[in-house]
Structures are given as C-alpha cells and as structure tokens.
Amino acid sequence: QVQGFKRLILLAPDQHSKLHVADADASGTSAQGNISPINVEDPDLAKYPNFADAEVLVVDLVPGDVVFMPSGWWHQVRALSPSIS
C-alpha cells in the first residue's frame, strides 16, 4: 500500500464450504466457482447460514504495508480512502 487505507476481508481455502459458492452447473460468472454471493461485510445469515461458522480475518492496510495473498484464499478488498497500491 503506497497511499491511503484499505480493508481486506480474508478467508482461508478451507472455508470454501461456508461461502455458498455455486456448483459447476451454474451459469455466468458463478460458473467459475470462485465467486460467493455473500456480502461478507453484511451477511444475510438467514439466506446463507453456513457463513455464521466461517473464520473471517479482517486486516486494515496503511501506507507501507505489503500483503502476500496465497493461492486459493478468498478475499474482498475495500478502499477506505483514495488509495494507490
């Protein structure tokens, strides 16, 4: 992170079953098997009950921080201010 602040929401690969990812019969971008319909910042636990048991890591990045993202990790990134990465 060069300038600004970002929030990362991370889930390890073993959390896949809690993300309600569409199966191989899906169409469109869901067919890729790497997109979850869950809004991880405000999950609808009535619609996606398995997510209640997910282990979620929240990391705030500040200027000078570096993140290594291992293969297979689920992630969402939100800029908290104008940012350059």
For the entire predicted model, the pTM comes to 0.82
**For 17-44, what is each residue's pLDDT tens digit?**
999 887 656 666 655 677 888 999 999 9
Q: What's the longest Cα–Cα distance across the chain?
A: 43
For every residue of 24-81, DSSP letters joined together read TT--GGGGGS------TTS--TTT-GGGGG---EEEEE-TT------TT-EEEEEESS
**For 44-81, what is each residue's pLDDT tens digit?**
999 999 999 999 999 999 999 999 999 999 999 999 99
The amino acid sitting at 26 is: A
